[in-house]
Amino acid sequence: MENQDGAQDTRGVWASWSNVMDALHVEDMDTAYVEVLSSGDDLLLVKLMERSGPIVDQLSNEIIDEVMHFLAQYLVEQNLFNLFLSWIQQLLQLADLVMENGPNILGIPTEIKNKLLLNLNEASLAMDTPEDWKG
């Protein structure tokens, strides 16, 4: 995983991260995520997701859509699975909201939902189960 441009200038990365930290300091989560998403740097997005924790309920639908697209794309990466799973778990906890307001309340396109499910299944098949597991 690398930034989409392949070689983003280090000063640009630090400037983006500084803007992100400023937004986090004033609890402006959308601005923090917009900054990272506009940078095109996947590693910065992972770092922000780790720092903020799952905050699906605090982001606009547009940002949720972008983050879920990223999750769907990289869900099969074993080193990111636990981080991403915490975000997916929060989505599932919002199930009552979905039941009351319909499946499109969060604004996640069907294509991304399908990719999330497909990659979640693929990631679970690739995981090693403990020898004493009785599932």
Amino acid in the structure at residue 31: T
* Three-class SS state of 133: coil
Mean pLDDT per block of 10 residues along the chain (135 residues) reads 56 89 96 95 94 92 89 85 86 70 67 71 65 57
Question: What is the distance between the alpha carbons of residues 86 and 101, in angstroms, rounded to a whole number?
Answer: 23
